[in-house]
């Protein structure tokens, strides 16, 4: 039987902390926009601040629907369900706020030493209603383990940024995490704004064991630096040539008019 509450009770909070996966649902205001449902997992990703506020680490993905929808309208539902023990479905209805990597709010909740590789933002949810229902049709599943593939991929991406910044001063010269954000996470399927500052953040990523173990291609780094410097030189020459031609044309016109 469905029940509704104004906040997360202590018993429900303890039950939430034992779950290994949850789902997040958001949607744009447009009637023909894409409704999004995203599965979330990972140890230590979901946090209960108090009975009416929760947050989770938003890991990097190929899409940015949740972030975009929250920027537009703030509506969000977080759902948990029991795969073992007594059946239960729990929904947290609320308003979500996005705090991107490198912002003060992000850094306050996720210090560099505890940030998971690939975390691009935190999603903070102010809960205004809690709903529980039976979940009788949800099957039993035995939890085996968390997948580490996304974290490993993200750590390698961030290692590219760490090494590029150390050797060239520019992380955007390599196919690292910040470039991935800049090419994949700037807008939603419906063209709504996604990430706005994380791709261009001056903050670097914490050095992890994957970054230390990674050996950069020094020749590639050298070529990237040379390309960047060459682009600057070419740009400067073009400006100088254009300016000189402009001065010559102006002088010729003035002489002719006199």
Q: What is the pLDDT of residues 183-203, one digit of tens each?
A: 999 999 999 999 999 999 999
pLDDT digits (tens, 9 = 90+) for 103-133: 999 999 999 989 999 999 999 999 999 999 9
3 state DSSP class of 48: strand
Is residue 41 within a helix (H) or strand (E), and if so which, with residue range? strand 36-41
Residue 169's Cβ-count burial label (10 Å; 0-12, 13-18, 19+) is exposed
d(CA 192, CA 119): 20
Q: What is the mean pLDDT of residues 220-243?
A: 51
d(CA 5, CA 16): 15
Whole-number pLDDT of residue 253: 56
d(CA 46, CA 146): 14
Give the angle 145-46-185 at the CA atoms, nearest 5°. Answer: 95
Say how many C-beta atoms besides its own lie within 10 A of residue 6's C-beta. 11
Is the pLDDT at 28 greater than 60? The verdict is: yes
Whole-number pLDDT of residue 135: 95
Is the pLDDT at 245 greater than 90? The verdict is: no
Instruction: Show Cβ contacts of residue 157 under 8 Å, excluding neighbours closer than 6 positions.
Output: 60, 117, 118, 175, 176, 177, 180
């Amino acid at each position: 039987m469905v029940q509704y509450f104004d906040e997360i009770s202590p018993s429900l909070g303890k039950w939430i902390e034992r779950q290994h996966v949850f789902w997040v649902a958001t949607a744009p205001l447009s009637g023909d926009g894409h409704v999004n449902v995203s599965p979330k997992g990972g140890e230590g990703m979901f946090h209960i601040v108090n009975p009416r506020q929760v947050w989770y680490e938003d890991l990097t993905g190929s899409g940015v629907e949740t972030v975009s929808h929250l920027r537009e309208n703030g509506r969000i539902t977080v759902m948990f369900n029991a795969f073992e023990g007594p059946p239960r479905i729990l929904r947290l209805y609320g308003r979500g706020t996005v705090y991107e990597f490198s912002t003060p709010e992000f850094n306050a909740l996720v210090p560099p030493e505890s940030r998971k590789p690939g975390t691009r933002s935190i999603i903070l949810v102010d809960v205004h209603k809690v709903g529980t229902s039976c979940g009788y049709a949800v099957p039993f599943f035995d939890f085996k383990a968390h997948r580490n593939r996304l974290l490993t991929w993200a750590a390698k991406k961030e290692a590219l940024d760490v090494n590029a910044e150390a050797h060239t001063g520019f992380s955007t010269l390599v196919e690292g995490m910040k470039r991935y954000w800049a090419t994949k996470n700037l807008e939603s399927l419906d063209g709504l704004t996604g990430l706005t500052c994380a791709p261009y953040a001056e903050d670097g990523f914490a050095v992890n064991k994957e970054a230390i173990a990674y050996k950069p291609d020094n020749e590639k780094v050298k070529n990237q630096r040379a390309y960047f410097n060459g682009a600057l030189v070419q740009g400067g020459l073009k400006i100088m040539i254009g300016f000189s031609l402009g001065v010559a044309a102006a002088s010729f016109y003035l002489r002719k008019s006199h």
